[in-house]
Structure 1
């Protein structure tokens, strides 16, 4: 199962490393490996969240995630997105933006590609930070029977009973980010607001089509719209799956912001960044997502959902903090790894306790 799921990631990674070596020698090869590891370490929580969403899609849309989704992740977010940001910020046409990128200027030198992208960081961080913050709040403020960090999740669940609690907390977070962003206050507030609007729009449309198609299926008993998953749950197709796919891509894009910006602290070469972040990192994250779905890992280790969303909340806060204070990418990556690792260990312990109790019940003789 492991080799079957990851074979394309290994194949693409080997090709990317070979291209990096031919392009820039051993130094480019090493930088490519570093960027790939950076992207994977930053995206453990992304893979868990993606897997939970991908479980709801039928096989066709899962394949779309691995084909069209990869194209969007690699070329859209790791190549076109930085070019677009630099072009808009510096008022350059596409050709000028590409020429500036290929110049590989020092990111610390005003006017260089890396410098202009870094200058646009407050807007990017505000948009991505607020989108991820709303994703975290909608999860953590909802009522759930299973709780992981109980001393935090219980009072947060109570807070969630307040009408519009996630929106209130999100707006308070955006106001705080804007208050400390100085001369960038206007663009930070606007970008953060757009991030929130994007979240509510994509999430809302997904829920709308989900409900509509479920109603159609119940009425017509058509398995063209909703199919039976191996676990017995319903998987989505049609418009509902399309909206869920778009939602998945927006989440994936939000997770990639910190990696794209952080990559320029390692190299300003857009070719190396695309090879390392996109062709290696993004491919492995997608394969990991599919592996989690096919192995049923999230159902077996039930705290992983919680750990991933706490990591998302931490990443959202870090992105908003970086508007004012730089945060090393290693710290960002380790936060996600720590939350996912702790959730995994907690899940194993919970499963062990459940097995012990089950065995104890079997040993107790039944009362006549």
Structure 2
């Protein structure tokens, strides 16, 4: 069947979302030009989200293929609601509510009536958000490479030594802590404490999710146990998606400070990422391109570093997207080249 079938729901959401975005633009500006401006910003945010999160789709597919059909469906339905409404709408509201000591309704009213002030509060916690997400994603990548059972290597000069180092217990945690300490020396003195605690919170969250997943994975492969393991994978994917979205959420405020346009654009992008995930699982893309998974985890590693470094110097979102696309593109090209030999 055509690949278009996987994106039917995404195209429907895009159509409805862009109409809603134009309506929001007209509501705030009161002119057709305002509606067209909002429409354009939504389109830019869609491209931003997909470019930054393409590696997220690949990593999702590596986990999703081992889940039961029931939990796959739950991830693609419940998980979609959490991704769009939770991370792209509720999450920014919660941050502003906590920072400004407001209740969620007051934060929503601020977003609607004082978008400039809302955006200023949201971006003021960039260091903490980036440290949390960067620490979690770094552990995701390092766990993949520090795997003693990993026998397929793409860039062997890097991956073979890392796999051997995986014999050391918690080596990835130690390296992430070291990186947080080194980066904390470059952030401002007023932000150092929050940055460090947020990074440690990211590590603890990763370890907590791993612990839950291990607890749910029983040694006997009964149907009940497989469902329990899939539930653990579902939790892991939701936290992973949240960590991926941190960079896009903060970066989107450089494009617009209107929460509603912001949520519409990133939500449409998240829908396309889900569609890509489904297509890769159904078509066995990861099996066909043996190094694609490696490229995705290199991209995750690079994104984690970029999130940390971005707390010290501004890194344009286009660079973030291009780095991830380069790793995945090169891994696909090399997979095809090796397959043809």
Same fold (TM over 0.5): yes
The structure 2 residue matched to 1:245, chosen from 215, 227, 234, is 234
Deviation at 1:170, TM superposition (A): 1.1
CA deviations on 1:308-361 (whole Å, 9 max, x unpaired) are: 0000000000111112211111111111101110111011111111xxxxxxxx
Find the counterpart in structure 1 of residue 31 from structure 2: none
Counterpart check, 1:186 vs 2:193? yes
3-state SS in 1 of match to 2:256? coil
Q: CA deviation at 1:22?
A: 2.4
* 1:104 Cα deviation after fit: 4.8
Contact in 2 for aligned 1:129/1:316 (Cα 8 Å):
yes
Matched, 1:13 2:14: yes
Name whichever of 139-148 and 81-90 sits farther off. 139-148
Give secondary structure in 1 for the equivalent of 2:152.
coil
Task: Give the 5 Å matches for 1:23-42.
Answer: 23-24=24-25, 25-42=35-52
**Residue among 231, 247, 250 paired with 1:261:** 250
Q: Distance in 1 between matches of 2:230 and 2:115?
A: 42
Q: Which residue of 2 aligns with 1:116?
A: 121
Q: What secondary structure, in the 3-state scheme, does the structure 2 residue paired with 1:288 have?
A: helix
Q: CA deviation at 1:216?
A: 5.7
Q: State the match for 2:143 in structure 1.
A: 138
Name the TM-score, length of structure 1 as normaliser.
0.87
TM-score by length of 2: 0.94
Tell me the equivalent position of 1:220: none
Contact 1:132–1:251 (8 Å) recurs in 2: yes
Which ranges of 4 or more aligned residues in structure 1 deviate by more than 6 Å? none
Aligned position for 2:295: 307
How many Å separate the matches in 1 of 2:115 and 2:224?
51
2:276 paired with 1:288: yes
SS at match of 2:220: helix
Residues 64-79 of structure 1: pairs in structure 2 closer than 5 A: 64-79=74-89
Shift of the alpha carbon at 1:157? 2.3
Out of 277, 285, 288, the position equivalent to 1:297 is 285
Between 343-352 and 91-100, report the one with greater CA deviation: 91-100
Q: Deviations over 1:133-182 (max 9, x none)?
A: 01111111213211111221122223333332112111111111222222
Distance 1:200 1:93 in 2: 30
What's the Cα RMSD here?
1.3
Partner of 1:362: none
Match of 2:90 among 70, 73, 80: 80
Gaps of 5+ in 2: 26-34
Write the distance in 1 (CA, Å) between the matches of 2:169 and 2:38.
52
Per the alignment, residue 233 of structure 1 pairs with none
Shift of residue 53 of structure 1?
0.6
1:105 pairs, out of 115, 130, 141, with: 115
Gaps of 5+ in 1: 107-111, 218-223, 227-235, 354-368
Q: For the residues of structure 2 that align with 1:22 and 1:91, how far apart are their CA atoms?
A: 31
Residue 169 in structure 1 maps to residue 166 in structure 2: no
**CA displacement, residues 278-328 of structure 1 (integer Å, 9 cap, x when unaligned):** 1x1010000100100000000110101110000000000011111221111
Give a deviation string over 1:29-74, Cα, whole Å, max 9, x none.
1100000010000011100000011011111111111111111001
Question: Which entry has the higher C-alpha Rg, 1 or 2?
Answer: 1
Q: Does residue 126 of the first structure (1) align with residue 136 of the second (2)?
A: no
